[in-house]
Amino acid sequence: MSDSEGGPKQVSDPDYHSENHTAAQTCGWTANALRGEGKCYKYIFYGIESHRCIQMTPVVKCNERCVFCWRDHAGHAYELGDVEWDDPAAVADASLELQKKLLSGFGGNEKVPRERFEEAMEPRHVAISLDGEPSLYPYLPELIEEFHDRDITTFLVSNGTNPDVLERCDPTQLYVSVDAPDRKTFDDTVKAVEGGAWESLIDTLDVLAEKDDTRTVIRTTLVKGHNMHYPAWYAAMCDRADADFVEMKAYMHVGHSRGRLDRESMPEHEEVLQFTKDVGEFLPDHDTIKEVEASNVAVLARDEQTWVPKLEKSSEFWERDPVVSY
């Protein structure tokens, strides 16, 4: 998958652990949770146990070049025709093994209780969101089912460029990135590689609206001076998607994005919260707002209870494998 003369590589350009086209990386919040130093906002909003969540992707290639992306775009540019695709079971196996390797060092960390480390060795959630566009993996719907068959919940993040694939995907929760309220902002901020990406995103909103068993989230990375305008238009897109949640998070001035944007492009939490409220003005059914300042994120919801019902601590999901409180 690599070019000996220094051209684009599949998973070896970023610092990921990988097996063929499957890549994983330890999330900072996973490490924090293991040490008892806090959990990700996704726990606060949705009930995801940070130390039991795999951050992975079945494909690193991406068909967009978002200005705010912290990844190196050079690693997104390889040709899919050269990839020998693993089947879903192999991708799931690789994800679990990579996670165990990534976390193995915590077993000897005096700040990590043994019981918590052993829990982390048995993941119960997978965030298909590390890098690339997951819907480019040809067996994504089957991969989601493979994880579900192993009693692992799935949280899929997509840019919405492949609505036909997403129509067949039923993860526990489906996030679609809507990082622009209009075509011009989309072209300037998302910089899709292929034509028709905006139209595909609109089609994806209609796909979300038809989801009955999958919780849906519209997520927006807010970049100051780029896409923090027209809140009514964002709301119209969320309304078209009939999204369960509307999640807005600040752009973070980290990684390779620092070569494309300056630090002033990173909004303060108060600005994120205010813009979320501005969007909420046009979504009267989403009258619950939650925020996590440490992650510079806010979410609009229809109900005060935002956890995945399956992840409530009294649910059958945790009966065989209860989480130790800490």
Query: pLDDT tens-digit profile of 45-66?
Result: 999 999 999 999 999 889 999 9
> Which segments of the chain have a pLDDT < 50?
1-10
Distance CA 106, CA 31 (A): 8
Contact 51, 123 (CB under 8 A): no
Beta bridge partners of 177: 219
Distance in angstroms (rounded) separating the CA atoms of residues 218 and 176:
5
CATH topology of domain 1-158: TIM Barrel (3.20.20)
Q: What is the pLDDT of residue 217?
A: 98
For the stretch 179-188, contacts whose Cβ atoms lie closer than 8 Å and that sit 24 or more positions apart, written own/partner, are 179/66, 179/68, 179/220, 179/221, 179/223, 179/227, 180/227, 181/227, 181/229, 181/230, 181/231, 181/233, 181/234, 181/237, 182/230, 182/233, 185/226, 185/227, 185/229, 185/230, 188/67, 188/226
CATH of 162-189+197-304, one of 3.40.630.10, 3.40.50.300, 3.20.20.70, 2.40.50.140: 3.20.20.70
Rg (alpha carbons) of the chain, rounded to whole number: 19
Give this prediction's pTM.
Answer: 0.92
Cα–Cα distance measured from residue 153 to residue 172, given in angstroms and rounded to the nearest whole number: 6
pLDDT computed for residue 3 by the predictor? 37
- Whether the CB-CB separation of 300 and 306 falls below 8 Å is answered with no
Q: Exposed, middle or buried by CB within 10 Å (0-12, 13-18, 19+), for 7? A: exposed
Given this chain, do its domains 1-158 and 162-189+197-304 carry the same CATH topology?
yes
Q: For residue 69, give the 3-state DSSP assignment.
A: coil
Q: Which of 286, 291, 245 minimizes the C-alpha distance to 268?
A: 291
Domains of the chain by residue range: 1-158, 162-189+197-304
- What's the one-letter identity of residue 180? A
Q: Distance (Å, rounded) from C-alpha 23 to C-alpha 98? A: 8
Query: Which of helix, strand or coil describes residue 61?
Result: coil
Q: Which residues pair with 288 in a beta bridge?
A: 301
